[in-house]
Amino acid sequence: MSKTELNLTTWNRREHYEFFSSFDEPFFGIVSTVDFTKGYQNIKDNGYPYFLYYLHKAVKTANDIEPFRYRIEEDNGYIYDKIHASATIGREDHTFGFSFIEYDEDFKVFQANAQKEIEAVRNSTGLRFDNNAKRMDSLHISSIPWYNFTGISHARHFQYRDSVPKISFGKYTKEKGKINLPISIHVHHALMDGYHVGLYLEEFQRLLNE
């Protein structure tokens, strides 16, 4: 978990950081859709696991867009060199557990890491809220494949100083030959603004279209 401290003195968002850090609810959320047509075809053509395919793209995007690697720890700002995936994994009994999936730019390596962790979650009980689930160098990611959504909120513990971005995906829909995938992004306003979420969506779309 390599990280460096943000230089708040020279940061052009220093006042934004100080202002929003004092909020009881410093997170803001954006709900949008991405064009999943080409991504879905890549999954079909190559036999990729559906969830792991876009999960890998989501984590790669966060590693590429620097503010998504910013975190607040003990009232200081940090930049992590690399972040990973903390995804909720469902079980057959309709419970879920937290996972920690190490990111690798190579999809095959990432897939192997993910499948090992998914198997561990499905063979366990409870939340698995262990030290890995609490790591700051991660994204909190969930998939809600049962329905489409146009809005979403998250359970929050306000006494816990959280700054990890939260990304959720819903059920895709088809319309006139186009596949739309709903996505929600909740981020800490002291660390980024709507502009940076826009950069994330743009890069995520580009990766899906590769």
Per DSSP, 22 falls in state T
Phi, then psi, of 52 in degrees rounded to 5:
-70, -30
Question: Which is nearest to 57 in space by CA: 36, 79, 31?
Answer: 36
Question: What would the pLDDT profile of 118-165 be if each residue is shown by its tens digit?
Answer: 999 999 999 999 999 999 999 999 999 999 999 999 998 887 889 999
The predicted model gives 17-23 an average pLDDT of 96
According to DSSP, the β-strands at 173-175 and 3-5 are unpaired
Average pLDDT, the chain: 96
Angle at CA 184, nearest 5°, toward 179 and 186?
Answer: 160
Q: What is the pLDDT of residue 1?
A: 82
Q: What is the pLDDT of residue 160?
A: 83
CA 207 to chain centroid, in Å, comes to: 15
Instruction: Give the 3-state secondary structure of 153-209.
Output: CCCCCCCCCCCCCEEEECCCEEECCEEEEEEEEEEECCCCCHHHHHHHHHHHHHHHC
Burial class (CB in 10 A: 0-12, 13-18, 19+), 102: middle
The alpha carbon dihedral of 175, 165, 100, 111 has a sign of positive
Q: What is the pLDDT of residue 131?
A: 93
Q: What is the pLDDT of residue 159?
A: 79
The predicted model gives 78-99 an average pLDDT of 97
- Locate 83 and state its tokens: 């972040």
Q: What is the pLDDT of residue 161?
A: 84
The predicted model gives 18-32 an average pLDDT of 96
Question: What would the pLDDT profile of 50-73 be if each residue is shown by its tens digit?
Answer: 999 999 999 999 999 999 999 999
For the question of whether the overall pTM of this predicted structure is more than 0.75, the answer is yes
